[in-house]
Amino acid sequence: MAPKPQSKPGPPNGGKKPMRSIQKTEDLLKQNVHAKRRGQGKERGVLKGLYDLVKASKNLPGSVSTRALEIAALQNAIKAASALSSSRAFQSLPRHLRRRAASHNPRRVPKRLRSRAAAEIDPGDMTVKMHRKKAKLRARGDLRGRSRTIQLRARQANKRWLGTHIFHAKRFHMANIWGYRLGMTPTLKGFRAAYRAARRRAIIQDTSFMGVIELQGTQSQLVALLSKVSAGPFTGSKYVTGLRVARITAYHFGTFPLGLIGPVEVLWQPAGEREGRTVWVRVHPSTFDEVWETVTTAISTHMDEFGAVLVHDLRSTLESFEITGPLAGRVLSRSLRVCNSEPQDKKRALASLLHGDPAECPDGMVVGFKVYDPRLSYPPARVQEAPTLLQSPWETLQTPNGVSTDLWDTDVRAKLSKPRWKKSDLDTRRHQLDVPGTRLSATVNDNRVPVLLVKSTLQSKTAGQEASGFHGWTLLVPHGWSMAFLPSFVYCNSRLAGVVERRNRSREAGVPSFPEHYSSVCHASDAWETQQSQEDQVRWLRKPPGKRPEFSVLGTRWPFRPVWSEVLADAGGTSAEEAVTNGEAEFRTWLFNVALVPCLPTLVAAEDPAARLLECVNVFRQRRGLSQLPLSVMQELFTTALCQVQVEMIGRGSPSDMATITELDATERNIWLGAHTRDQSTGANHEGASELLKLGEERSDKGVIGFVTTGNISLTRGEGHGLGMISLVGYLRLLVAARQSQQPELAVAKVKNRDGHVFRLASLTLVQ
């Protein structure tokens, strides 16, 4: 008798067959496509495998669970089918990963979506082939025989391109401004996202458009030269030793307080064995030519005093980035690898410094060191927690060794003007590695890049405004290396910003941005104001009368730009007709400098504020070795002075650009503040019951003392906030009225937007 075949071991779950796993919806959809091609039904293709599960189940709980799985599969199939019918493959990507060419080229989407994208494209669409043919022609040049390089250089005839121009041109709205082609704002909308990045994470901007002027000479000659063309401290021990950068204001030679040029940064090279000293003056591009002409003219006309000073233009040898936010140091520590040639204590202190918040470091501190090519370690790895953090790492770095760097050397910058290896060369080296994804190790032939790190702060010095400031770092690198650093910075989850985002940060911090918020006190700001007013007027004229505000009906006399000759006519003792007759050419306004702010209390209490102002100005000029101003200019100096203020709304409302600031005397001040107090006590939040609204609806076109240069809802304060420019005479009147009301520090005025008809109550604080 033949032995019985040995039975197979049963399943471990008591004889029940294991349940089969349901396939993914994507796989079912693919099977459905193949089934449809074979002419089979859709239901059988989508629910394949589910019927077998239902037949195999014997008990009720198993049937219920199977039915639940079947319903879930149906719902997933319906959702997938509706998504496929209503959206394209490239639309499923995040907004920052979408590309315009993705609708015609399936290679522009990730690999997992290319088959779906290829099926969605019309077979007759020849856009890809046409663009591919044009791309080849562009790479070789045009039909006239001009190469691609010659074409791109021809497009830079009337403006300059930054090293990261191509990177920005694909992602930003570009504009010709200050002699450069700059990215104004990203094409992706992100007003609040940019603010959150600067406040919580990190935001980066390529500031290579900032120019640098190098001065070489003895320390006494450089101090004497800069003293007569600037206002602000720059000769202290912390500045002269190169430990701090000095932020001052440049003027034409010997013209203080008139002849304003703009803000500049002064950086001293640490003293070495040589007798001569070197100073870098970092200048805004809109004022570079003016500062250059002022310095060179002063040297040529005063050869006996400044004849030995040499001047060099470093715009083509330096590039810079500005990284703002509490995680700015983390971005730098991830992207940059300090060379092993640096001392260990310096590397340890630098790691602790970048690991912390930039707000903890002194403003303007300088650190110099040398890093490897950042492309070797791309993509940047996450930085591990530092095992031992120093309490005050910046104290260790504030030494001549800590701030010294080869970036000051002209020969070193010339050798590093172009990276030794192209990206293709580094990719070839990566391809030869045994383990894919391994970072490249620096060899003897790889570049060592000297950099200079400067602490940057955007913060108002007004009491109570510290929380609204922004802190970060400014990184100076040799020319030609900006595109080698930028991809690493962007990879570290830092948001890329443009000129508009930088301007918005200045408003949030309560610090005027140059030249946008300086009105007509210098040539650069006057040119900016003229251009903006022309654009606003063209935009207004393009709209039909029914779709634009009628400024004549609203009582707005200056809707596009302020006419200071008419605004300051009463303060100067002349009529408006005389001011118009004289014209703007004979009417010069000047900015009440921060160096004169300590004299403000004495101006308020003085019987003759004009004489007191002239006295303060002459004291400052005497300290700088300048001649005294005569008494004949006393009244004109007093009536043409303008000062920058912060506009804080009291109650409702938000100021906008070109809003008028109107003066309130002591009586009106008490009436408006009393109405605001009663509105708060009675809870009159809606417009109909507000006493301030009834006061604001009264027409008044007299007493205008200034304008709002920029204003909006402040995300930091949660209320309306702006920056404005008002006359010094009007501001002193507001302070006098405040003293009479037993509130000497609360200057109150009323503000009306140019497209509005209601005055709002606001407090004014001098920008320091």
Average pLDDT of the segment spanning 246-274: 92
Structural element, H or E, at residue 265: strand 260-268
HEC string of 577-642 equals: HHHHHHCCCCCCCEECCHHHHHHHHHHHHCCCHHHHHHHHHHHHHHHCCCCCCCHHHHHHHHHCEE
The pLDDT of residue 163 is above 50: yes
Q: Which two tokens stand for residue 362?
A: 């002194």
* Axis-axis angle for helices 60-86, 25-37 (nearest 10): 70
Average pLDDT of the segment spanning 195-224: 94
Query: What pLDDT shows up at residue 46?
Result: 46
Average pLDDT of the segment spanning 710-729: 93
Over residues 672-681, the pLDDT tens digits come to: 998 888 888 8
* Residue 714: φ, ψ to 5°: -85, 125
Over residues 322-349, the pLDDT tens digits come to: 999 999 999 999 999 999 988 888 888 8
Query: What pLDDT shows up at residue 45?
Result: 44
Higher-scoring residue by pLDDT: 528, 400: 528
* Residue 321: φ, ψ to 5°: -130, 150
Query: What pLDDT shows up at residue 75?
Result: 86
Range with the poorest average pLDDT among 17-31, 127-141, 537-551, 646-660: 17-31
Higher-scoring residue by pLDDT: 89, 194: 194
> Measuring CA to CA, which residue among 201, 211, 281, 279 is closest to residue 248?
281
* Residue 236: φ, ψ to 5°: -70, 165
Residue type, position 51, single letter: Y
The pLDDT of residue 80 is above 80: no
Query: What pLDDT shows up at residue 425?
Result: 92
Query: What pLDDT shows up at residue 157?
Result: 87
Query: What pLDDT shows up at residue 680?
Result: 81
The pLDDT of residue 7 is above 50: no
Average pLDDT of the segment spanning 82-107: 71
pLDDT grade for 38, boundaries at 50, 70 and 90: low
CB 606 within 8 A of CB 613: no
Query: What pLDDT shows up at residue 276?
Result: 86
**CATH H-level, domain 211-317: superfamily:** Aminomethyltransferase beta-barrel domains (3.30.70.1400)
Residues in the chain: 768
Q: What angle do CA 187, 200, 380 make, to 5 degrees?
A: 75
Average pLDDT of the segment spanning 365-383: 89
SS3 98: coil
Residue type, position 544, single letter: P
Beta strands in 57-179 (DSSP E): 160-161, 172-177
Q: How buried is residue 32: exposed, middle or buried, by Cβ count under 10 Å (0-12/13-18/19+)? A: buried
Query: What pLDDT shows up at residue 725?
Result: 95
Query: What pLDDT shows up at residue 681?
Result: 80
The pLDDT of residue 758 is above 70: yes
SS3 140: helix
The pLDDT of residue 627 is above 60: yes
Average pLDDT of the segment spanning 489-509: 94
* Cα–Cα distance for residue pair 272/408, rounded to 1 Å: 12
- pTM, to two decimals: 0.82
Query: What pLDDT shows up at residue 248?
Result: 95
Over residues 635-666, the pLDDT tens digits come to: 999 999 999 999 999 988 899 999 999 999 88
CA dihedral (439, 443, 449, 455) positive or negative: positive
Query: What pLDDT shows up at residue 59?
Result: 61
SS3 168: helix
Average pLDDT of the segment spanning 162-177: 94
* Cα–Cα distance for residue pair 596/594, rounded to 1 Å: 5
Query: What pLDDT shows up at residue 34?
Result: 67
Higher-scoring residue by pLDDT: 108, 496: 496
- Per domain, the residue ranges of the chain are 25-58+69-81, 211-317, 319-509, 523-589+641-766, 592-639
The pLDDT of residue 604 is above 50: yes
* Cα–Cα distance for residue pair 433/435, rounded to 1 Å: 6
pLDDT grade for 389, boundaries at 50, 70 and 90: low
CA dihedral 357, 363, 366, 372 (to 10 degrees): 30
The residues with which 185 forms a beta bridge, in sequence order, are 173
Say what percent of the chain tops pLDDT 70: 83
The pLDDT of residue 132 is above 90: no
Pairing of strands 180-186, 160-161: parallel
CA dihedral (708, 710, 716, 720) positive or negative: positive
The pLDDT of residue 301 is above 70: yes
b vs e for 332-348, b when ≥16 Cβ sit within 10 Å of the residue's Cβ?
Answer: bbbbbbbeeeeeeebeb
**CATH H-level, domain 523-589+641-766: superfamily:** Aminomethyltransferase beta-barrel domains (2.40.30.110)
Residue 40 Cα distances to 33, 34, 69, 545, angstroms? 10, 9, 23, 64
Q: Which two tokens stand for residue 176?
A: 């010709």
CB 305 within 8 A of CB 468: no
Over residues 422-438, the pLDDT tens digits come to: 999 999 999 888 888 78
How crowded is the C-beta side of 599, counted as CA atoms within 13 Å?
A: 20
> Measuring CA to CA, which residue among 289, 290, 291 is closest to residue 265?
291
* Cα–Cα distance for residue pair 55/63, rounded to 1 Å: 9
Highest mean pLDDT among 32-36, 154-158, 289-293, 606-610: 289-293
* Residue 761: φ, ψ to 5°: -85, 135
Higher-scoring residue by pLDDT: 124, 568: 568
Over residues 722-753, the pLDDT tens digits come to: 999 999 999 999 999 988 887 777 899 999 99
Query: What pLDDT shows up at residue 1?
Result: 46
Q: Which two tokens stand for residue 682?
A: 């009675």
User: Distance from first CA to last CA of the chain, Å, rounded?
Assistant: 110
Q: What angle do CA 33, 34, 39 make, to 5 degrees?
A: 95
Higher-scoring residue by pLDDT: 128, 290: 290
Residue type, position 444, single letter: V
CB 184 within 8 A of CB 175: yes
pLDDT grade for 197, boundaries at 50, 70 and 90: very high
The pLDDT of residue 577 is above 70: no
